[in-house]
Amino acid sequence: MDPAFIQAPEHRPSAISHQFAEGVPIIDLSPLLSPDSKKSNLLSIEFIDPATLSTLVDKIKHGCKDWGFFQVINHGVPIELRRAVEEVSIKFFGFPLPEKRKVRRDEENTMGYYDEENTKNVRDWKEVFDFSVRSPIVIPELEGDSIKSVTTLANQWPENLPEMRSVCKAYAQATQKLAVRLLELISLSLGLPVSRLNAFFKDQTSFIRLNHYPPCPSPNEALGVGRHKDFGALTVLAQDDVGGLEVKRKDGEWVAVKPVPNSYIINIGDIIQVWSNDEYESAEHRVVVNSKRERFSMPFFYIPSACEFIEPLEEKMSEKNPPNYLPYNWGHFYISRKLSNFKKRNTENLQIQHFRASKLNA
């Protein structure tokens, strides 16, 4: 839910029909808890019986196809670890601005702190801190078989909050395990082998964002995050009890996702839309601000290796169902979007519609 992902500027309407999105499925993952889960909290598809697995996969399919969103409970991520990250987030964002800016991100390295004053592209009412699951990340931008350029992204950690690094790294590993299981369930829901998508993430470029939304004095004139779709594969979002996330339903109405304690909100991104050849569609969403309470959230963006070329999977194409997208290099796409926070461009940010086969062949 990066500011760079936004498709168009937007102000919050003065009147919104706030309907809690009861239709967004809440899926219980406890059937995936392994026999020794009391010790490990690990999710596993290996131990689940076929009938229970089939029911679970159907629920995942409903969430992906009808909403692009679902929530999960009994997910295996230790609540103590999640709370520890929330605590260091509160401490970090409570620092004076000059202290936070010691680890600010820039166009050379987009990991670290970001606020509205260290960017040329102001859009959102929030401040963030980004860190990657793997660090450093070396991203070659490919053009055909040649390397156009190489970008290195490295995590930055505040010196006066030493526990932040270890807590965040442990949380990243735990959340990644959940993302892997969810991706396997999504693969099954598409009629693919359980591990069909795993290889794309061997050298993943995944990252986690710590979001802080201060109270907004004019909530009718601003958004925490404008309407957008996530350009990655899968987003695993932890949010506090303040709420604010809204999802655009298939009929065009914006509905609020009511926070469920200790749950995760999951949404598929543009990459799964491309892999599925439009069988699944990523959904627009946004965050509304609160005039009285600050809000914290932590999205985990599960995204593939930089060297991968993203295109419809062979299994999702046929003579009657030709590819809707031409291949695009993930490293080039990723860097162009991340740098859009810092560089004014004469052209629109890259979107998956730029790679639609019908458009390029017209």
Q: Does residue 278 or residue 351 have the better pLDDT? A: 278
Identify the pLDDT of residue 342. 53
pLDDT band at residue 125 using 50, 70 and 90 as cut-offs? confident
Q: Does residue 238 or residue 217 have the better pLDDT? A: 238
Overall average pLDDT of the 230-235 stretch: 94
Taking residue 183's Cβ as centre, other Cβ atoms within 10 Å add up to 22
CB-hemisphere CA count at 13 Å for 340? 20
Kind of pairing between the strands at 225-228 and 285-287: antiparallel
What does pLDDT average to over the chain? 83
Q: E strands, the chain, where? A: 26-28, 69-73, 112-114, 127-132, 137-143, 146-153, 207-213, 225-228, 234-239, 245-248, 254-256, 264-268, 285-287, 295-302, 309-310, 328-329
Q: Is the pLDDT of residue 12 over 50?
A: no
Angle among Cα 204, 209, 212 to the nearest 5 degrees reads 175
**Of 43-57, 183-197, 216-230, highest mean pLDDT:** 183-197
- The residues that bridge with 301 in the sheet, in sequence order, are 207, 235
CB-hemisphere CA count at 13 Å for 233? 28
Identify the pLDDT of residue 19. 36
Q: How far apart are CA 259 and CA 242, in angstroms?
A: 8
Q: In what helix (H) or strand (E) does residue 275 lie, and over which residues does it extend?
A: helix 270-275
Q: How far apart are CA 134 and CA 139, in angstroms?
A: 12
What letter represents residue 320's amino acid? K
Q: How far apart are CA 308 and CA 276, in angstroms?
A: 16
Classify domain 3-360 at the CATH class level: mainly beta
Measure Cα distances from 275 to 57, 205, 337 in Å: 18, 18, 20
- Contact predicate 111/154, CB 8 Å: yes
